[in-house]
Amino acid sequence: MPLVKNGRITTDLFVGVADGAELPGDGAIMVTAERFLADPEALLRRAGKVGVIWPNNRDLDDLVPYLDRLAAVALVFPTFRDGRAYSQARLLRERHGYDGELRATGQVLRDQFVFMSRAGFDAFEVRKEADADAFAATMKRYTVFYQPTGDGRVTALNRRMLQRHSESAGQ
């Protein structure tokens, strides 16, 4: 699957390692939550970056102690109607301060790119290369938002308040 970062298709540096498969000696790996939690310290000690695929029905509390040492967390959208990974993304970014790669995987639809980005995702596994172009176009289309999130963008309300403050200061 193509990986979209910064609005374009990029090379995925992480190699997916199946449960029970031998780990490469070095290089970036992506493992399941089950494999990671079986022996997190051993995985984190190896040479190379570690990422974990975290299902949306699993509690983040099990992952939080390791966030500062994880290079990537892939949150799973099993269907487009299941939005639990949005909540997980916001919790990871806003409550737990995770600043590594936050990847959306599974049913990642172009209609949801903006919402996913606003929730904190910065990488997207897409099914088609055409989705990368759609992502770039979609992200440029919307510049003003009403809802506050942890992505640092100023909301429409805050823009109005800043404008009124600067107007009243100028008089």
Highest mean pLDDT among 96-100, 120-124, 151-155: 96-100
Query: Residue 159 phi/psi, 5° resolution?
Result: -60, -45
How far apart, in whole angstroms, are the C-alpha atoms of residue 115 and residue 44? 31
Tokens of 82: 């299941």
Task: Kindly state whether residue 130 falls inside one of the protein's structural domains.
Answer: yes
pLDDT tens per residue across span 23-73: 998 899 999 999 999 999 999 999 999 999 999 999 999 999 999 999 999
Residue 38 belongs to domain spanning: 3-143
Are 123 and 3 within 8 A, CB to CB? yes
How far apart, in whole angstroms, are the C-alpha atoms of residue 123 and residue 72? 10
Task: Kindly state whether residue 103 falls inside one of the protein's structural domains.
Answer: yes
Task: Kindly state whether residue 124 falls inside one of the protein's structural domains.
Answer: yes
Q: What is the pLDDT of residue 52?
A: 98
Task: Kindly state whether residue 170 falls inside one of the protein's structural domains.
Answer: no
Number of domains in the chain: 1
How far apart, in whole angstroms, are the C-alpha atoms of residue 102 and residue 88? 10
Q: What is the pLDDT of residue 86?
A: 92
Q: What is the pLDDT of residue 136?
A: 66
CATH of the domain at 46: 3.20.20.70
Task: Kindly state whether residue 120 falls inside one of the protein's structural domains.
Answer: yes
Over pLDDT 70: what percentage of the chain?
95
Are 75 and 52 within 8 A, CB to CB? no
Task: Kindly state whether residue 66 falls inside one of the protein's structural domains.
Answer: yes
Three-state DSSP string of 125-167: ECCCCHHHHHHHHHHHHCCCECCCCCCCCCEHHHHHHHHHHHH
- For residue 139, what pLDDT band results from cuts at 50, 70 and 90? low
Task: Kindly state whether residue 78 falls inside one of the protein's structural domains.
Answer: yes
- Among the residue ranges 40-54, 74-88, 133-147, the one predicted with the least confidence is 133-147
Q: Any bridge partners for residue 16, and if so which? A: 30
Task: Kindly state whether residue 48 falls inside one of the protein's structural domains.
Answer: yes
pLDDT tens per residue across span 153-170: 777 788 888 888 888 876
